[in-house]
Structure 1
């Protein structure tokens, strides 16, 4: 498969890119900084420079052309203000959805966040509240499109080694999850067309990743 990953130099994105490359897929990492190209090449990922904050939809269509799926793993990142939460975490995700539609790419995986889908807590600081609102808006935009989307909302992210065991639920994620395991879940979702249309909350848990994804699909269909 050819998979285009927005935010290709991010910590989840690079893990996913390496997993895809290791099994012989064709990952493409969309990055805004040309200095990140060498890192992606070392991972086995083909870099494409395209700034999703300023690009036109036609430029993004060119960046993802020929892909079998797109993954939105971009983010304004720590230290960014509320304004960039809107331009990156919301608008760039929506732009990728619009480009996928124009390019005829049906599969779209969204890396969202815990708390999205609900108003931020009243005591949340301004930037976190803006982040949750931006992620919620991005998720809602994607879910309104005629795409085979899956929204993944991980719990608090860590750089601890992955265990390959997680919990996927329709309820709010609680606790933590290693980025290694987020990447493994994304890889499995790419291999699971029946996961389209699901909003999944992800945390560390007892289930091997393939079993957790398969259970989430069964629960949606009512199968045992």
Structure 2
């Protein structure tokens, strides 16, 4: 939140990729804007300046908590995340946007449902991390948005299927 683009650039320099998974976690709309919105913009600019073209953004599932009376703060979060998605897609980076369903803190299963559009559902944080780890090594998953929930497909197979359809 406090780092300048130049400070982030120095931290990013020499790495193969950036995974932006920062979040304000309900600390208020101002921090949501600074972290989830402006933070993404600074990180993308820093990655560009550092010559690190691979950039993965952990976003939000578009249907998350819809119709559940989530409140003004959550609606603001959804709007900021969407603006961040749009910003990233307009950069020259080799981006991948991952939109996980409702995150679960229980141990993952190693199985997911992944695609450009899937039904809303839960997903284990472990499985989101495993998906990103595998996707980082798949160059065909470039400039695509993937929605991700718990499912029956092993993570490696899900990534391979997406890569073959993206190629």
Pairwise TM-score range, normalised by the shorter structure: over 0.9
Partner of 1:54, secondary structure, is coil
Contact 1:155–1:203 (Cα < 8 Å) also in 2: yes
> What residue in structure 1 maps to residue 157 of structure 2?
211
Return the alpha-carbon distance in structure 2 between the equivalents of residues 130 and 74 of structure 1: 16
> What residue in structure 2 maps to residue 100 of structure 1?
47
Where in structure 2 are the equivalents of 1:1-224 lying within 5 Å? 53-78=1-26, 80-115=27-62, 124-221=70-167
Q: Which runs of 5+ in 2 are unaligned?
A: none
**Displacement, 1:169?**
1.3
Return the alpha-carbon distance in structure 1 between the equivalents of residues 56 and 83 of structure 2: 15
**Displacement, 1:82?**
1.4
Decide whether aligned partners of structure 1 residues 159 and 138 sit closer, same or farther in structure 2, where only a CA change above 3 A counts.
same
Decide whether aligned partners of structure 1 residues 173 and 86 sit closer, same or farther in structure 2, where only a CA change above 3 A counts.
farther
Normalization by structure 2: what TM-score?
Answer: 0.93
Contact 1:74–1:88 (Cα < 8 Å) also in 2: yes
Return the alpha-carbon distance in structure 2 between the equivalents of residues 173 and 71 of structure 1: 24
Q: Show CA shifts across 1:152-173 (max 9, x none).
A: 0000000111110000011155
Partner of 2:140, secondary structure, is helix
**Displacement, 1:93?**
0.9
Return the alpha-carbon distance in structure 1 between the equivalents of residues 91 and 67 of structure 2: 28
Return the alpha-carbon distance in structure 2 between the equivalents of residues 173 and 64 of structure 1: 34
Q: Which has the higher contact order (CA 8 A, sep 6+)?
A: 2
Return the alpha-carbon distance in structure 1 between the equivalents of residues 166 and 14 of structure 2: 30
For these two proteins, the number of residue pairs brought into alignment is: 166
Contact 2:101–2:121 (Cα < 8 Å) also in 1: yes
**Displacement, 1:94?**
1.1
Contact 1:114–1:173 (Cα < 8 Å) also in 2: no
> What residue in structure 2 maps to residue 15 of structure 1?
none
Return the alpha-carbon distance in structure 2 between the equivalents of residues 171 and 65 of structure 1: 33
Superposition RMSD in Å: 1.8
